[in-house]
Structure formats: structure tokens, C-alpha cells
Chain A
Amino acid sequence: MAQAAAVAKPPAPPRRRRTSATPRRLPYLLIAPAAVLMLGFIAYPVLSVFYYSLQEYNPTKPWRNGFAGLDNFVRIFTDDPLFWDSLVFSAKWVFVEVGLQLLFGLALALIVNQTFVGRGLGRALVFSPWAVSGVLTSAIWVLLYNSQTGITRYLADVGIGSYGTSWLSDTGTVFWAAIVADLWRGVPFFAILILADLQSVSKDLYEAAEVDGASRIKQFWHITLPHLKDAIILSTLLRAVWEFNNVDLLYTLTGGGPAGVTTTLPLYVASTSVESHNFGYASALTTVAFVILLFCSIVYLRLSKFGGENK
């Protein structure tokens, strides 16, 4: 059905082409729909966030609305412990998630890249959580973690831990409980990307290394890892941005709690704008988040020498 629809769309350009004779306008016509959508629903909102960040803007307190200069930003950096808490938690979350996902994803990709009996089934099963949504992941882990009939009950049955433990409502365990839930779904993402890139390693290299007597560990360090370098850099960066912005899972699993200990910066922004309707301040927070993301991305690409001499 998508196929039929895909065929149906492009007729507009050639008709135009015949009237204008030159295909010079054609590329512009072709990118026009995408450009309009992105200007209207990405560029314009971004600009309006920048604009509102300089405003006092709260629909529930309209009498105070107006130009605020840098007041919002001053307040963020000098008078908002919640901002710093959420920023620190975001950094911790991104760092631990991406690090562990890369580690396990790489190991998993190397394993399922081997030839063994049942490889197809193994791959399908191992990758399956990839397509599960953040909300569904939360639903599953809420079932696993619940204090009455969750996994802790059965662990307590065999003498591990105690009955009635709820990992999600204890400030000491909630971080790792959420990390594990997100790893469950995030590791396959890395494994899939790395596995796809492993397909393009030249087999001659391994054969040559074999002839030279290189051990498998040496082959990994000197052939596989350099080959994967760019893919790893790109996927860790994309994943870091994605994890930074990951709202679905934490919003539904912990709601930023208990006692705010799992509130990331985007969750803090969402609660500032949705619950307290402070759009101006939320926009300033968003602007700060953009700048931090952009800065970290540039530093990361520089430091890792992406696309550099190793190719």
C-alpha cells in the first residue's frame, strides 16, 4: 500500500518540468514539502523558544508577562538548585547508559556475528527489545519491580532480599532500577548498528592476521576496533543526545521521583511548562539545554577525531 502511494506522489514535478523546460527548479520543488514542514515545525518553534527565553511568559499570570532580558538565565545559574540537580542527574544518566550500552552492545554484536547453530533465532531474540517503546518498557518493568507480585517477591521466596521491597520507590535503588530497564531496550540498538558495520570488515584482513599468527584478541584490537571507530563515535553521540532527551521512559517509570532524584533536565523543563505554566522560564531552560548539547557534541567530535586519519 505504501508502495502504491509512493508511486502516486511524484507526478507533479515532471508536469512542471515540461512547462518550464529546464530542470533547474526541480530540486527546489522536490525539497519544498520537507523544507516547509521543517521550517514550520522545527525552525519556527526553536526560534520562538529563543524568543520566549527572554520573556516573562506565564498564561496563568498574564499581568506579569513582558520582556525580561536575561533575568531567566540569571535565575537559572544563580538561584535554581533544581536546575543543577537535574543537570547533574542528566549527565550521570547519559554517561552510565551510553557507556554500558556500548560495552554490552559491542560484546553482543561480536557474539552474534560468529557462525553458530541457531544464529538467526539468537539474533532475533536478542534484538527484540529494540522495537519496544519507552512506555511499554516502563509498563513491563513496573510489573517486574512491583512490591507485591514482582520479581522481589520470588527472590524473597528463595531467601534473597525481603518481601515488599520496591526498587522504584527507594531513592537508593531507583537509579539502577531505571538504568537496567533502559539498558534492556538500549543495548540492542548498539548491537544492531555495530553488527551492521561488522559486515563490512574485509575478511582478507583476518586471514592475513591469522597467517601472521595474531591472536583473536590482537585481531580485535588492531582490525575490528579501528574499523568500527567511526560507527562507534557516531552511534554513541546519537545515543547520548537521544538518552539526554529520553523523556518517555523516566516520565512513565519514575515520574522524576521519588523525591525528584530521577529528574532529568528535559523532565524538569516539562514540569516547569506543563505543571507551573512558566513558559518563559521553561524556554530559557530549553535554550540552556540546546547550548549544552551542542557544545558537548562539538567537543566530542573534536576529541574523537571523527572521520580522521584512521580511515
Chain B
Amino acid sequence: MSTKVAAKAAPAPAPAAPEPPRPVRTSRRAWDEAPRWQIYLPLGIYLVFTLIPFYWILLFSLRPAGSTSLVPWPMTFDHFEKVWTERSFGVYFQNSVLVGIATLVMTTLVALAGGYALARFNFRIKQLFMLALLCSQFVPGALLLVPLFEIFAELQMINSLGSVIIAETVFQLPLSMILISNFIKNVPYSLEEAAWVDGCNRFKAFRIVVLPLLRPGLIAVGSFAFVHSWNHFLFALMFLNNQQKQTIPVGLNTLMGADSVDLGALAAGGIIAAVPVVIVFAFIQKWLITGFSAGAVKG
């Protein structure tokens, strides 16, 4: 009841002071006046659909094998121990972290260089290059597995994490580069020019003036690259045959493929797979939704 009153009362001052430079957050929109039940009821139903699967995997990972209880009590961590040691998830985890971080670093660096060129220069093959970037969005990595396998075999990189890192980076690059070049375009060129006048060369001006403003965008792009390579499965499945080199998604797939699936181990493996992603997600969520570049270039 009280929220409804507040919502009704809030629009009143708005017509009284219609001048545009009002602080953005304080004015409430007419749109916001939906009855509360129209928000909470569908949201609640959807949340049940979203959360039951999460609860389910947590439940299976914590309750003893064979239990049919709907609460994880008595609680056990046996599944985690088993999956981490017997099923080599400890090794997979290391490999996945390595692939994720290497992909993040390579994608960010290469996309930053290319994105800067696209944002700040006009050069002859620019249009062609942009077209190639867009077209590559339609090229499915899954359909290129065979030729990619042959290339990596030629380069003697089968069974080395390097093959997966390169493949993940390549398929992350186009979108990352387009995003980064848009972030750079949002930084006024005049800021850079002012730095040149003050005696900076192009690189120093970039580092001092542009790079700090790009931080939110780079965090978003880097996190995408990390999460994507952490989650992706086919390249690792195809290029890494040695069990000591495999990654978490491949390990999960092996657990599912077993003749009698060990549900507790599968659930525990799934939780291990989810933890880093959840951490990254919590970390980038605020950059994801608010237009990151908007507020950054006020000075």
C-alpha cells in the first residue's frame, strides 16, 4: 500500500519543474506506475523456473548418493572430493583457468589494437575489413572443426592448450573488436589531440587519456572472452585427446556420457564449472546493463 502511495505522489513534482537538466535518476516515469502485482506475479513465476534448476544441482551435489530427500540434509562433500581427485576435475580446472586467462589477454590486446585503428583512422581496406568482421559472425566454429583440426595437426598443436586458446581467441575477436572500436569512438578525439599538443606521442596519449576511459568496456570485453572460452566445449573436445589436457566442459560431458551416470559427481562437477562464471558475472553485471561509456567521458 505504502509503495503505491509513493508511486502516486512522486510524479507530482515532475510537471512543476520540467526543465531538462534535472538529475536523471530522481524523476519517475509514467511507465513505472504498473500495479505491483503485475510486476511481482510474473517475476515470481519466472524466478521459480530460473531457480529450481540451480537448486536441483546444488541439492544433488550435497546430498548423499541414493538419497531422495528434497533438502540437502545430511550434507556431504564426498561428491566434490571424488570429482576433484578421481575424476580429475582439479586438473581440468587448472587447464580451463589457463585457457580462459590466455584467451582473455590475447583477445583484449589484439582487439584493442585493431579497434583503435578502426576508430581513429581511415585507411584503404577499412570497409573491407569491417565487412569481414561482420561476415565472420555467421561462420560457425562448429562447422569448421575439420579444417581447423587439420591446421592444428599441421602446426603440431593437437593436444596442446595453445590450439584451443588460438581457436577461442579467433572466434571472439570480431565482436570484441567492433565493441572496443565503438568504445573508443565514444572518447572525443579532441582529448587525444590535446595530449599531443602537450607533447605526448600517439601511444602515450592513448595510454594516459584513452585507456583509463576504456576500462569499463575492456572489463566487459575481457570478461566475455573469459566466460566464453571457459564455457566452450567443442574445440577442447576435438583438439585435446590427452585426458591431462582437457577442460571442465569436456570433463562434464564425460561424466554425462558414462553408462550409468553418477548424478552426485555430475552435480558437483557442474557446481565447480559454475563458480568462476558466477564470480565474473557478479563482477561485470553493472557494466553489462548501464551504457558503460556514457558517464565516463564527462571531463
Contact = CB atoms under 8 A, between A and B. Distances in A.
B16 interface: no
| Overall SS of chain B's interface | helix
Contacts of B266: 139, 142-143
A75 B257 CA distance: 33
A186 interface: no
Contacts of B148: 41, 45
A30 B145 contact: no
Contact of B170 (A13, A37, A133): A37
A245 interface: yes
A178 interface: no
Given A6-B108, A196-B289, A248-B232, A135 B30 contact: no
Contacts of B129: 31, 35
Contact of B47 (A35, A40, A126, A282): A126
A49 B138 contact: no
Contacts of B147: 44-46, 48-49, 52
A2 B104 contact: yes
A241 B138 contact: yes
A111 interface: yes
Interface in A24-61: 26-28, 30-31, 33-35, 37-38, 40-46, 48-49, 52
A206 B31 contact: yes
B273 to A, nearest CB: 5
Interface stretch (A64-72, A92-100, A265-273): A265-273
A131 B56 contact: no
Interface in B262-299: 263, 266-267, 269-270, 273-274, 277-278, 280-282, 285, 288-291
A248 B51 contact: no
B116 interface: yes
Contact of B132 (A26, A38, A40): A38
B117 interface: yes
B43 A133 contact: no
A207 B29 contact: yes
Contact of B140 (A31, A266, A283, A297): A266
A108 interface: yes
Nearest to B249: A135
A216 B31 contact: yes
B263 A146 contact: yes
Interface stretch (A80-88, A115-123, A225-233, A302-310): A115-123
A200 interface: yes
B138 A297 contact: yes
B291 A199 contact: yes
A104 B215 CA distance: 32
Interface in B40-78: 40, 42-43, 46-47, 49-54, 56-57, 60, 68, 70
21 contacts: A17-B202, A28-B117, A30-B114, A31-B114, A34-B113, A41-B167, A42-B139, A46-B139, A112-B43, A131-B278, A133-B273, A136-B231, A139-B269, A139-B273, A143-B270, A196-B291, A199-B291, A200-B291, A248-B233, A283-B146, A294-B138
Given A133-B231, A286-B144, 5 more contacts: A26-B117, A30-B113, A34-B173, A133-B249, A289-B143
* Cβ-closest 8 pairs across A and B: A133-B231, A245-B140, A45-B147, A30-B117, A27-B121, A210-B30, A14-B203, A27-B117
Interface of A: 2-3, 5-7, 9-11, 13-14, 17, 23, 26-28, 30-31, 33-35, 37-38, 40-46, 48-49, 52, 104, 107-108, 111-117, 122-136, 138-144, 146, 149, 151, 153-154, 184, 192, 195-196, 199-200, 203, 206-207, 209-210, 216, 219, 238, 241, 244-245, 247-248, 251-252, 266, 269-270, 273-274, 279, 282-283, 286, 289-290, 293-294, 297
